[in-house]
Structure 1
Amino acid sequence: MNKQTIQTEFETRYGKPTLLVRSPGRVNLIGEHTDYNLGFVLPAAVDKEIIFALSPSSDKQSHFHALDLNETLDFDTQNFQKSEKTWANYGLGVIDQLQQLGHQVPAFSCVFGGNIPQGAGMSSSAALECGLAVGLNELFNLGIDRVDLVKLSQKAENEFVGMNCGIMDQFASVFGKDRHALKLDCRSLEYEYYPADISEYKLVLFNSAVKHSLVDSEYNVRRSQCEEGVALLQKLGENVASLRDATLPMLEKYQSHFDEVVYHRCAYIVKENQRVLDACQALANQDLATFGQKLYESQHGMQYEYEITVPETEFLVDQTRDEPAVLGGRQMGGGFGGCIINLIEEAEIDRIANQLAQTYKEKFNLDLEVYIADIVNGTEIMIDD
């Protein structure tokens, strides 16, 4: 779905667009489940994106047209409710948040479409929210800064859609930088870029095609186990507001006081935060071998301490461990399936992907989807050619 296709569809329906916006999906290189523990994450915006064409409406109604689905929602920006069209609620939530902040949102028309794979964990929802937020901010001169656009996009998903996501996805979508990873401090929202110009290597995602329904319930369980660990440390006299403040020596000192499972959950988070910092240092040193090793260490922690992997993703990661052209890999996302992210020598991608697809099919009778991701800039207004 390219810019020209979106523009042509808009012209057919609503006339010439005033504005074109592109908003990317993201991958999280390392730092899983650290966000709600107020720790560090290392995402990057990637070249799978949604493109929007926007203009003030020529009538009193607003119009959303999702080109990929060939579905339209016509609505009144001053009086709307949650839609039965799930995709529309991500956009309606943005309008709702803008209005809660006191901004007037006149009627507008919008056509959007993109190439972010559904269910691959690249956060098409954040791309939709952020692209529309940046677009409406520009279209109607609302004067909202980019950090606040990120926050309202997250709140749109939390409050209107009803998904209790952290802020990483929206932040990466807006603040991504070409050929750089973005280290985000989820407590202060301070961020820093690290060079990820990985030249002869590529980020490759293998989609396991498995998504267990456990993910939402188990996410909440993990979150409460982390909170239980913090409460115990506080009770024992430690000055910690979240697991971000905990250290491994601190956990080890009180290990006998912990439930064994809660201890392992907390240990994973503390170690994963450090892995993010180590991975950033490796990128700064252009040490891709160490960076890749951190991915494998993260996988080990997710498998044996946080227990959010599944046999399918474990198999996919294990198949790459003895492959010299693969520097590292791990399951990406909330857990219990989804994609594994790998750092693979570009010249060897086809061979490895074909080999892995064959062995995966033989083992699980599942087809393997492969995505190659390049790191790009975040959400931006597109220059009209």
Structure 2
Amino acid sequence: MDISDKCLNGNGVAKNGVFGEECPPVKPLSFIDQTLRVRADALCSLLRKKYSKDPSFYVRVPGRVNIIGEHIDYSGYGVLPSAIQHDMLLCVAVEDLGTSGKSPSIFLTNINDCYQDFKGSMDELVIQKPPSWHDYFLCGIHGILHDLKDEVAKEHIKEKKAVSSIYVAVDGTIPPCSGLSSSSSLVSAAALATAYAMKVKLSKLVLASISARTERNVGTEGGGMDQAIAFLASEGCAKLIEFNPLRCHDVRLPEGASLVVAHSLATINKAAGSEYNTRVVECRLAAQVIAKHQGFAWQKIRTLGELEAAVSKNVSKNDSLHCALSLVETELHEEPYSKEELLKLLDISEAELIKLSLNANTTHLQSFKLKQRASHVYQEAIRVLEFENECLKNLNVTAGGDYNSKKTLEKLGELMNSSHASLRDLYECSHPQLDQLVNLCQKKCFGARLTGAGWGGCVVALTTNSAADGFVEYLKENFYSSVKQLPTCSDKNSIVFRTNLECGAVVYDDDGKAPH
């Protein structure tokens, strides 16, 4: 049973008021601010122009920046992201087919004409690998039409509407392949829009779990952070999101803290290559090899988190992580493991290795770095705990105490710098251009690191409210001044910006009423 299954079976109630039955809010269109209103009007015009349809409702799902906790969610460890102001906005028209006998269809158009229109059957969703932009949307539809468990259907679906044709105009302000969750935001938006159109009542937790699982249809073994923050984010807060089962709670940054996001201008589509899934497999193999050495039933171990739980009991989380980290040092060697060595060590055939450890686009690999990857995961999990503890000190300080905000920001910055060094050297998921931007940031802020999958994409930097605007100008002058061409489908406002900590997914309905 995976993380999503546990959530779908009703386990795991999030903290801070996000309960298992809490659904994404439905608000009247009058709640849309002026900036969003302009975009919504443009989408409405596009929908009418392309399909001669009036909108039934709108869906907004934010992108996210991960402050710390990179490449550890798929190993079962907590992460600390926040939602940002950049988002996916959908304008949706629902066509009730009634008894016409027509097959329901999906019609997609994008306000940015670098993305081609798409038309397909809802009865036969064909998701391609590597994916085009519309395949992420199809993943979201697939999650609602096919991934709902029977027990969830009985509990959450009261008056399910028959599948209808839907017409969707999309506007995304999240730069693609930037590490800010553009693809997961689109998957999540599609899932929410499909559920709402069908009058399917699903909680934030269930929607996050379904979206995480269904996105794997494009071939990437993600861990669930992006979809969780898309639905569970709280305005003004970061979220510590934990797994097994999915749960979260608010984490407030020190007063006066500000985050700046900057694009390295190097990009990678993680679903189109094997780098991301290779790291997932290397972490899995590291856990399985250590489990074998420790005499556990290694075939049942899938993540480093499961290994840690098996080897460390009745101790604090911090002690448990350090215990697991010490096993990495003693049980794994520095040199890469060859496939032949792993087959001999685990006493299995190549076919069994593929079944128990690998995935579709990593079967060709002949060499695996286990110690480096596992070291990063456990060290990063420890950094997440330390980051949250520093933020809690800020909240718990009494009036007139000796709390020093600058000192706390310096400690948080050190953790972010350490995270980047680990991602660069142990996990090897950085990029020379990204490293250059991080080094530039670190000269003028408390700390900076890559955010997202890596191999390009964005940097997140910690500074103060008073210094943020000047910091953005510093980056424009020293990094972006010579840039002649921006990444495809991006604009300057999505390349470097001071981010807000936004709320999660919202439905905007003309009536302001949920259909359920």
C-alpha displacement at 1:46, in angstroms? Answer: 0.9
Q: Which amino acid aligns with 1:63?
A: F
Q: How does 1:20-31 map to 2 (within 5 A)?
A: 20-31=58-69
Is 1:99 the counterpart of 2:145 in the alignment?
yes
Deviations 1:354-376 (A, max 9, x none): 44444446999998931322111
**Separation in structure 1 between the aligned mates of residue 238 and residue 231 of structure 2, nearest angstrom:** 13
Contact in 1 for aligned 2:143/2:191 (Cα 8 Å) = no
Q: Which amino acid aligns with 2:110?
A: A
Given the superposition, is the C-alpha separation of residues 174 and 361 from structure 1 closer, same or farther in structure 2, using an over 3 Å criterion? closer
Is 1:267 the counterpart of 2:267 in the alignment?
no
Given the superposition, is the C-alpha separation of residues 234 and 141 from structure 1 closer, same or farther in structure 2, using an over 3 Å criterion? same
Q: 2:174 aligns with which of 113, 116, 119?
A: 116
**Separation in structure 1 between the aligned mates of residue 213 and residue 323 of structure 2, nearest angstrom:** 36
C-alpha displacement at 1:251, in angstroms? Answer: 3.7
Q: Which amino acid aligns with 2:199?
A: N
C-alpha displacement at 1:312, in angstroms? Answer: 2.3
**Separation in structure 1 between the aligned mates of residue 52 and residue 483 of structure 2, nearest angstrom:** 48
**Separation in structure 1 between the aligned mates of residue 141 and residue 268 of structure 2, nearest angstrom:** 32
Given the superposition, is the C-alpha separation of residues 6 and 254 from structure 1 closer, same or farther in structure 2, using an over 3 Å criterion? closer
**Separation in structure 1 between the aligned mates of residue 109 and residue 292 of structure 2, nearest angstrom:** 53
Q: 1:173 aligns with which of 230, 237, 251?
A: 230
Q: Which amino acid aligns with 2:228?
A: F
C-alpha displacement at 1:202, in angstroms? Answer: 2.6
Deviations 1:40-80 (A, max 9, x none): 11111111011112232266544222222374323332244
Contact in 1 for aligned 2:260/2:472 (Cα 8 Å) = no
Is 1:374 the counterpart of 2:419 in the alignment?
no
TM-score of the two chains, using structure 2 as the length reference: 0.66
C-alpha displacement at 1:289, in angstroms? Answer: 3.4
Aligned to 2:276: 219
Aligned to 1:46: 84
Q: Give SS of 2:170's match.
A: strand
Contact in 2 for aligned 1:265/1:306 (Cα 8 Å) = yes
C-alpha displacement at 1:199, in angstroms? Answer: 5.6
**Separation in structure 2 between the aligned mates of residue 250 and residue 199 of structure 1, nearest angstrom:** 34
Q: Give SS of 1:340's match.
A: strand
Aligned to 1:335: 454
Contact in 2 for aligned 1:41/1:186 (Cα 8 Å) = no
Deviations 1:264-289 (A, max 9, x none): 32222111001111212222333433
Bigger strand share: 1
Deviations 1:300-322 (A, max 9, x none): 22223223223322222222334
TM-score of the two chains, using structure 1 as the length reference: 0.87
Q: Give SS of 1:312's match.
A: helix
Identity %: 22
Aligned to 2:111: 67
Q: How does 1:299-310 map to 2 (within 5 A)?
A: 299-310=420-431
Aligned to 2:192: 134
Is 1:86 the counterpart of 2:138 in the alignment?
no
Contact in 1 for aligned 2:238/2:252 (Cα 8 Å) = yes
Q: How does 1:147-296 map to 2 (within 5 A)?
A: 147-159=205-217, 161-196=218-253, 200-211=256-267, 216-237=273-294, 241=301, 242-244=303-305, 245=308, 247-252=321-326, 255-260=329-334, 262-286=370-394, 287-296=408-417
Aligned to 1:55: 93
Given the superposition, is the C-alpha separation of residues 292 and 109 from structure 1 closer, same or farther in structure 2, using an over 3 Å criterion? same
Q: Which has the larger displacement, 2-11 or 17-26?
A: 2-11
Given the superposition, is the C-alpha separation of residues 352 and 5 from structure 1 closer, same or farther in structure 2, using an over 3 Å criterion? same
Q: Which amino acid aligns with 2:421?
A: H
Deviations 1:1-59 (A, max 9, x none): 72222233334444432211111111111111101211111111111011112232266
Q: Which amino acid aligns with 1:92?
A: L
**Separation in structure 1 between the aligned mates of residue 58 and residue 434 of structure 2, nearest angstrom:** 38
Q: Give SS of 1:211's match.
A: coil
**Separation in structure 2 between the aligned mates of residue 310 and residue 74 of structure 1, nearest angstrom:** 37
Bigger radius of gyration among the two:
2
Aligned to 1:5: 42
Contact in 2 for aligned 1:248/1:267 (Cα 8 Å) = no
Q: Which has the larger displacement, 308-317 or 36-45?
A: 308-317
**Separation in structure 2 between the aligned mates of residue 213 and residue 135 of structure 1, nearest angstrom:** 25
**Separation in structure 2 between the aligned mates of residue 168 and residue 142 of structure 1, nearest angstrom:** 23
RMSD value, Cα = 3.1
Given the superposition, is the C-alpha separation of residues 303 and 77 from structure 1 closer, same or farther in structure 2, using an over 3 Å criterion? closer
Q: Which has the larger displacement, 250-259 or 35-44?
A: 250-259
Deviations 1:110-136 (A, max 9, x none): 222121122221111111121122122
**Separation in structure 2 between the aligned mates of residue 305 and residue 221 of structure 1, nearest angstrom:** 14
C-alpha displacement at 1:377, in angstroms? Answer: 0.7
Q: Which has the larger displacement, 305-314 or 241-250?
A: 241-250
Q: Give SS of 2:200's match.
A: coil
**Separation in structure 2 between the aligned mates of residue 89 and residue 336 of structure 1, nearest angstrom:** 22
**Separation in structure 2 between the aligned mates of residue 254 and residue 74 of structure 1, nearest angstrom:** 50
C-alpha displacement at 1:88, in angstroms? Answer: 1.5
Deviations 1:123-153 (A, max 9, x none): 1111112112212222221123322222222
